Amino acid sequence: MTQPTTYQNYINGTFESAREHLEVYNPATQALLSRVPESGAEDVERALAAARAAQKGWAARPAVERATFLHRLADKLRDNVARLARVITEEQGKVTGLAETEVNFTADYLDYMAEWGRRIEGEIIESDRPDESIFLFRKPLGVVAGILPWNFPFFLIARKMAPALVTGNTIVIKPSEETPNNCFEFARLVDALELPPGVFNVVSGSGATTGSALTASPDVDMISFTGSVATGSRIMASAANNITKLNLELGGKAPAIVMDDADLDLAVNAIRGSRIINSGQVCNCAERVYVQRGVADEFVARMAKAMDATRYGDPLAQPDVEMGPLINRAGLDKVARMVEVAQGEGAELITGGRIADLGSGFHYRPTVLAGCRQEMAIMRQEIFGPVLPVQIVDDLDEAIALANDSEYGLTSSVYTRSLKHAMQACRGLDFGETYVNRENFEAMQGFHAGVRRSGIGGADGKHGLYEYTHSHVVYLET
Ligand code: NAD
C-alpha cells in the first residue's frame, strides 16, 4: 500500500509546513491518501501579504507576457494528464475518463484565458466638452481569494486563477478540504514555471478555519467563491465588513422539461448522462424532470432501464465503471434520507432507492422517482446524487412556471422538436443558462452565471474575465 503524502502550503513561491493538519481519504476505498495543512490565520495572512507584495509588479507586465505563463502551464498539464487524473479520481471519486477530461479541459481553459492577453479592451467615450477625451481603462482588482468546492476541483483552480492572472491580479487559492491534493499537484507545476513569487499561492484547510480567515481579511479585493448557497451566504456576511467584491457561483436545481414532441432517445440519454456524471454531484445537471403527460410513462420506463444499466464502483479498481462513489458519508446519507422522505411524501420508487453495499465506499444506486410533486423536498432542494425525481405536467406553460418556482436559477433544459416550444421556453425560463436538446454543460467562451440564490456574477468568456477588473474612467481636457 502506498504511504500517505504530506503536502505543504504554497506561499510566496515556497512550499511550507503548517502547524495543524487534516487527513484526506479516498471515497471509494476509505484509504488515507494524504495529510494537508489546516492553515491558520497567520498562514492566510502570510499568503495574502505575498500576493499583495507581488501584485503591482505583476500588473506592470504586459498582459501578453502574463499570458505566456498560462500557456506554459497548459502544456505542463497536458504532459501530466494521466498522473493528475489519478490524483483527482483518488480523492474525489470521479471516473478516470472524466478526470482526464477535466485535466484536458483545464489546459484548454488556461490557453483560452491566456488568449485574452491581446484582447482586453477599454473604451473611449464621447465627451460633452469640446476639448475633452474620456477614457475607460480596465484595471486589476488586486488580490483575489479563490475558494473552491470538491466536485470539479482541478478545473475550478483554473477558472479562478486564469482570468485573475491574465488581468493582472494575484491570487490565493483555498481548495476544498475534501480534495486538496490535486491543487498541490497543480502548485508543483506552477512552481516549475518560475512565476514571480506571490502571484499564485495555495493554502489548504477547513472552511471554518482557513476559509473564514480568508473571507474576513481586509487585505482581499475580491472573493471568488464556488460552493453551496449556505456557505455563500456566510461568505457574503463576512465580506460585508470590508465591502469586499464578491463573485458567487452557488448551487443549482436544474429542471429538465421533456415535451410530448421530444426525441425521447435523445432526452433519456442526455438526462441520464447528466444525472450519473460525477455521481450526480454537478451544479448544472438535471436535478428534476417535468415531463408532459403524453410521454410520461414511456419516459419513466426508458429512464429507469437506462439508470438501472449504469455500471458503478471504485473507478481505479474497475476502469469500465460509468459512476464512482459520492464524496463522503455525509453526502451519501443526505441522498439516502432525501429519497426516503420523498417516498414518505408519496413519490413512487421506480428503480434504485438505496445505498449500494460494495464492501467499501460511498455508493448510491441510480434512482428514479415518479409521481413527484412540486412541494416535495426532492423537487426543491439540491440532491447532489444519482437520483432523478419526475413530475408530470400538462403543457409547457405549467412546466415553465414550475421550473421557475425555485430558489435556484443556475441552469435549465428543454427537450422538444418544436422551434415554437424551444423559443417559448427560452423566453419564459428565468435561469442563467438553458440547454435545448442537449446535456447540461457550458462552454468556456460562454458565461456561466446563476440568478436568484444560485449566485452573483459569473465565470467564463469575456464577461467572466471582466469580473476580475474594475473600471477607471479618466477625463482628459487638453
Ligand atoms: P461548500 O459550500 O460546502 O464548500 C465550498 C468551499 O467553501 C470549501 O472550500 C469550504 O472549505 C469552504 N467554506 C466552508 N465554509 C466556509 C466559510 N465559513 N468561510 C469560507 N469558506 C468556507 O460546497 P461543496 O460541498 O464543496 O460543493 C458543493 C456545492 O458547490 C454545491 O452546492 C454545488 O452546486 C456548488 N457548485 C456550484 C458551481 C457553480 O458553478 N455554480 C460549481 C460547482 C459546485
Ligand 1 centroid distance, CA of 148 (Å): 6
Q: Are residues 193 and 325 in the same domain?
A: no
Catalytic residue among 178, 249, 287, 382: 249
Count of structural domains, the chain: 2
What are the DSSP calls for 37-90, one per residue?
E---HHHHHHHHHHHHHHHHHHHHS-HHHHHHHHHHHHHHHHHTHHHHHHHHHH
**39 lies in some domain:** yes
Q: Are residues 333 and 385 in the same domain?
A: yes
- Tell me, yes or no, whether 447 lies in a domain: no
Pocket test for ligand 1, best of 147, 179, 249 (most atoms within 8 A of CB): 147
Note the pLDDT of residue 81. Answer: 98
Nearest CA to ligand 1 atom 36: 227
Distance CA(353)–CA(169), nearest Å, equals 47
* Residue 9 shares a structural domain with residue 29: yes
Strand partners for 150:
none
- Confidence (pLDDT) at 440: 83
- For ligand 1, atom 16, name the residue with the nearest CA: 207
- Please work out whether the CB of residue 215 comes within 6 Å of at least one atom of ligand 1: yes
Residue to mutate, 157, 176, 454, ligand 1, most ligand atoms under 8 Å from C-beta? 176
Q: Tell whether ligand 1 has an atom less than 6 A from the beta carbon of residue 211.
A: yes
- Ligand 1 midpoint to CA 180 (Å): 13
Q: What is the DSSP string of 213-249?
A: HHHH-TT-SEEEEES-HHHHHHHHHHHHTTT-EEEEE
- Torsions phi, psi of 252, nearest 5? -145, 165
Q: Is 251 in the pocket of ligand 1 (CB under 6 A)?
A: yes
Same domain, 278 and 416: yes
Give the Å distance between the CA of 151 and the centre of ligand 1.
9
212 CB under 6 A from ligand 1? Answer: yes
Asked if residue 274 and residue 234 are part of one domain, the reply reads no
Determine the pLDDT at residue 1.
60
Whether residue 97 sits in one domain with residue 154? yes
Residue ranges in the chain whose pLDDT is less than 70: 1
| Judgement on whether residues 169 and 225 belong to the same structural domain of the protein | yes
Torsion angles phi and psi, residue 131, rounded to 5 = -110, 35
- What angle do helix axes 419-428 and 396-404 make, rounded to 10 degrees? 30
Report DSSP state, residue 477: E
264 assigned to some structural domain: yes
Q: What is the pLDDT of residue 439?
A: 85
Domain contains 448: no
In this structure, are 123 and 43 located in the same domain? yes
The pLDDT, as a whole number, for residue 470 is: 98
Which domain CATH number covers 152? 3.40.605.10
| Helix intervals (H) in 388-477 | 396-404, 419-428, 461-466
Cβ(375)–Cβ(316) under 8 Å?
Answer: no
Which residue among 183, 283, 285, 372 is the active-site one? 283
Q: Is 439 a catalytic residue?
A: no
Q: Is 241 in the same domain as 263?
A: no
Task: Report pLDDT digits (tens) over 96-155.
Answer: 999 999 999 999 999 999 999 999 999 999 999 999 999 999 999 999 999 999 999 999
Q: Looking at residue 335, which CATH number applies to its domain?
A: 3.40.309.10
Q: Which domain holds residue 315?
A: 254-441
| List of E strands, 148-239 | 170-174, 200-202, 222-226
Whether residue 103 is contained in a domain is answered as yes
User: What is the reported pLDDT for 298?
Assistant: 98
| Sign for the pseudo-dihedral over CA of 377, 381, 386, 388 | positive
Q: Which residues of 53-74 are buried (b: 16+ CB within 10 A; e: fewer)?
A: ebbeebbeeebeebbebbebbb
Q: Distance between CA atoms of 366 and 387, rounded to whole angstroms?
A: 6
Question: For a pocket test of ligand 1, which of 102, 231, 288 has the largest count of ligand atoms closer than 8 A to its C-beta?
Answer: 231
Does residue 446 belong to any structural domain of this protein? Answer: no
| Four-point Cα dihedral 119, 125, 130, 131, nearest 10 | -40
Is 426 noted as a catalytic residue in this protein? no
Separation between Cα atoms, residue 466 and residue 459, nearest integer Å: 9
Judge if the beta carbon of residue 227 lies within 6 A of ligand 1: yes
Q: Is 424 exposed, middle or buried (0-12, 13-18, 19+ CB in 10 A)?
A: middle
Residues 420 and 462 in one domain: no
**Which atom of ligand 1 is nearest the CA belonging to 455?**
41
Q: Do the beta carbons of residue 294 and residue 260 sit within 8 Å?
A: yes
Report the separation in Å between the CA atom of 176 and the middle of ligand 1, taken as the mean of its atom positions. Answer: 8
CA distance linking residue 148 with residue 478, whole number of Å: 48
Task: Answer whether residue 349 is part of any domain.
Answer: yes
One domain for residues 349 and 281: yes
What's phi and psi for 170, nearest 5 deg? -110, 165
For position 290, what pLDDT does the model report? Answer: 98
Q: Do the Cβ atoms of 410 and 309 come closer than 8 Å?
A: no
- Residue 413: all three cell numbers together: 433544459
- At residue 378, φ and ψ (nearest 5 deg) are -65, -20
Nearest to 253 by CA among 402, 368, 355: 402
Q: 58 lies in a domain?
A: yes
pLDDT at 372: 98
Residues 260 and 227 reside in one and the same domain? no
Query: How many Å apart are CA 386 and CA 368, to the nearest integer?
Result: 9
Residue nearest to atom 20 of ligand 1 (CA): 211
